[in-house]
Amino acid sequence: MERKPLLVKEFMAASLVSFTPNQDVRDAIKLLIEKRISGGPVVDNRGNLVGVFSQKDCLQVALNAAYHDHWGGKVSEFMNKDVKTVDPDTKMIEVVELFRKAPYGRYPVVKDNRLVGQISRRDALRALLVAWSQWGH
């Protein structure tokens, strides 16, 4: 019996906390803390993914404040612009391989340069449980 591959679109989160490039970085940090998330996508006014803002990026904000007495700025000044993304039709096994090889805990899911969701390591583990149940383990 041939097993149907599990796809990213079946496990991704489609409802996301996102940021805008012009958003005040202090507001973005507050949102990360309030929502208890470690990061999120940065999208422009057309819904195009332009970066990712994470707790790690917030550390640069803290360093700027400590060393240069400069508090704040825009998300675009601190976000990671070099973002690895995946397509919603990517096989979950390929994403698991990406997670195994890279330090990222999540990947934005993009279709035609538009953000449609996010896939996380936790989502990959959920896919593993589904696969096991389908395979009778």
Asked if the structure places residue 91 within a domain, the reply is yes
pTM of the model: 0.81
Residue among 5, 16, 4, 3 nearest 42 (CA) = 16
Asked if the structure places residue 107 within a domain, the reply is yes
CATH number at residue 93: 3.10.580.10
pLDDT 10s digits, 41-96: 999 998 899 999 998 888 888 887 777 666 778 999 999 999 999 999 999 999 99
Asked if the structure places residue 2 within a domain, the reply is no
Asked if the structure places residue 30 within a domain, the reply is yes
Q: Show the domain range for 52.
A: 8-134
Asked if the structure places residue 32 within a domain, the reply is yes
Query: What tokens were used for 84?
Result: 């690895």
Q: How long is the chain? A: 137
Helix (H/G/I), strand (E/B), else coil: 66: helix
User: Based on the structure, what is the number of domains in the chain?
Assistant: 1
Q: What is the DSSP letter of 62?
A: H
Asked if the structure places residue 3 within a domain, the reply is no
Asked if the structure places residue 1 within a domain, the reply is no
